Amino acid sequence: MVSFGKIQIGKFKLTAPAVAASIIGEEVASMKSKIPEAIGDGADIIELRLDGLSKMGGWEKMLQVNLPVIVTNRPRREGGKFSGKEADRLKTLAYAIEREAPCVDIELSTKNPQLKKLIRQAKEKDVSVILSYHNLKKTPAVDFLINVAKRARDEGCDIVKIVTFAKGPKDALRVLDFLVRAREEIDVPLIAFAMGEAGRFSRIVAPMLGSPIVYASVDEATAPGQLKVSFAKMLLTELRGP
């Protein structure tokens, strides 16, 4: 049976592991049209990948759903599509906090004092903060990843997210080893898995080891090796058992 209690996303308390539908698109209308499909496929969370938008105007309308929403504006340096000015990228996240989005995902690579300011603003609004680290080239040593997770925790986030790239099965296994070891040292929820086809199985095994959120796609994958929402939901349902 797979059950790890609850995870808090803003004012929402969910049974973990939960499936987050990661939605991306060039237009707000196209992104918004995918939300009902994601809900129909069994998504527990909606992740809005705003970095794919050609124009930001009106995106906040997508917050009006009865599910927790994670707002992400991922820069190219961490695998996203946002290529504009860093100040503009962070301004969008600050606006999401102002609009009391349930959760924002901020990259640990964001420079201070901007990072600390966003986290402080989020706490004032009861908005959850995921601090994320993405390595697009490799899977570093377990000790290195544990230190990264500790840095994220020490910044005051609610959830830590560590994602690496798996060149082969050993890399994916290293992420899972990290997840097991880190749980003894990190006292906040820890999401961890490996991208790429070689890391695909880690996306399902990780929840069995305590990773509370599985990111999945509705149609267009937002990361290599990503599962479909309906498939991820079916697997987790089977793994949880009756």
- Residues with catalytic roles: 134, 161
**Alpha carbon distance 122, 116 (integer Å):** 10
Burial (CB < 10 A; 0-12, 13-18, 19+), residue 97, is buried
Q: Identify whether the C-beta of residue 94 lies closer than 8 Å to the C-beta of residue 121.
A: yes
Q: Identify whether the C-beta of residue 170 lies closer than 8 Å to the C-beta of residue 142.
A: no
Burial (CB < 10 A; 0-12, 13-18, 19+), residue 157, is buried
CA angle 147, 152, 158 (to 5 degrees): 135
Is the peptide bond between 17 and the residue preceding it cis, with omega within 30 degrees of 0?
yes
